[in-house]
Amino acid sequence: MQDRLESTYQQALAELETVRDSDVLRDWELKYLGKKGAITELVRSVGQLPKEERAAFGKHANEVKEALNAAFAAREALVRQQELARDLEEGEVDVTLPGRAPATGGLHPSTQTLREFYDIWGDMGFQVYRSREVEDDDTNFTLLNIPPHHPARDMQDTFYTTTPNIILRTHTSPGQIRAMRDLGERGTQPIRVILPGMCYRYEQITTRSEIQFHQVEGLAIGRNIHMTDLKGTITAFAQRMFGENARVRFRASYFPFTEPSMEVDVECFLCAGQGCRVCKYSGWLEIAGSGMVHPTVLRSGGYDPSEWSGFAFGMGPERVTMLKHGITDIRYFWGNDLRFLEQF
């Protein structure tokens, strides 16, 4: 047993001299000094010796254990110093190198287009008015001349909530009612506002349709506002947005909250009106729906339609962005794919 103890002691010292790593050092400690370590097991086996040999063996075993503990502590301190020196050497910073600019994010392409809208309409005297995204059914539909069972409701697949009469707005048009009531001072003041915001429709997601999208509603109320004012304003916007030579055309259409109503097209700026895949070879791109505010909607907002008139329009920033950059899939806007977003 004495020979075995001495042999284990010498082996442990030899292995300890080669340790250069904290993990290896921990393994060595478990191997020789742990609860099931070689030295510990030898100390526990003292009961197997004759009585006259036990005292001498026990004394020697304790001396070996203390010596190994001291050697372990010394090696542990040395290994820590060596690891610290390696870390400092490997992590050395060359202060003469030029600094690295921190990575910065960018504006979402929809946000960029929205800011262009704000600048252009702001220059024409329109202020930004924010309205709520969670609406009541009356403001979203009925006050906009879309009563229950009106066929126009079928065109807007609505997200209903568990609270009766509360929905996610399907368009920004209900903001017209709130703007007229908040800013019109009971139908006595003219207003010019744009109402940007997110809209929601329960639709199948495809390359051309999403369940969420931005709209920018426009509203101008005053005395003696005519269709010519609307056409001139929209034309001015298109020439600021798409170039001073942009041609605009107007097509008769139908919206329950405007009368008369019209769609607005701009000459395709990608093919100069010659016809391409983006404009479906028509030479024109649809950019807005618009019209004169319906008398029923004016009354809902607190205005007397015999004295006041106005026009309204609605535009989609994502659609404009897709047209300007030739983007063919609207799902890219909400996919959070940096390969797409970093292009802008």
Q: What is the DSSP string of 5-74?
A: HHHHHHHHHHHHHT--SHHHHHHHHHHHTSTT-HHHHHHHGGGGS-HHHHHHHHHHHHHHHHHHHHHHHH
Rg (CA), the chain: 39
Give the model confidence (pLDDT) of 261-307 as tens digits: 999 999 887 777 788 776 778 888 889 999 999 999 999 999 999 99
Order of strands across the sheet that contains 134-136: 134-136, 166-168, 159-160
Number of H helices and E strands in the chain, helices first, is: 11, 10
User: Is the Cα dihedral 31, 32, 34, 36 positive or negative?
Assistant: positive
**Better-predicted residue by pLDDT, 174 or 32:** 174
- pLDDT for 12 equals 82
- pLDDT for 38 equals 81
Give the span between the Cα atoms of 139 and 99, in whole angstroms.
Answer: 55
- pLDDT for 141 equals 94
**Tell me, what amino acid is at 215?**
Q
Q: Is 291 helix (H, G, I), strand (E, B) or coil?
A: strand
Give the span between the Cα atoms of 193 and 176, in whole angstroms.
Answer: 9
- pLDDT for 228 equals 96
- pLDDT for 116 equals 95
Give the model confidence (pLDDT) of 12-68 as tens digits: 888 888 888 888 888 888 888 887 788 777 777 777 777 777 777 777 777 888 888
Give the span between the Cα atoms of 196 and 216, in whole angstroms.
Answer: 4
| φ, ψ at 276 (rounded to 5°) | -150, 180
Distance of CA 272 to the CA centre of its chain: 34
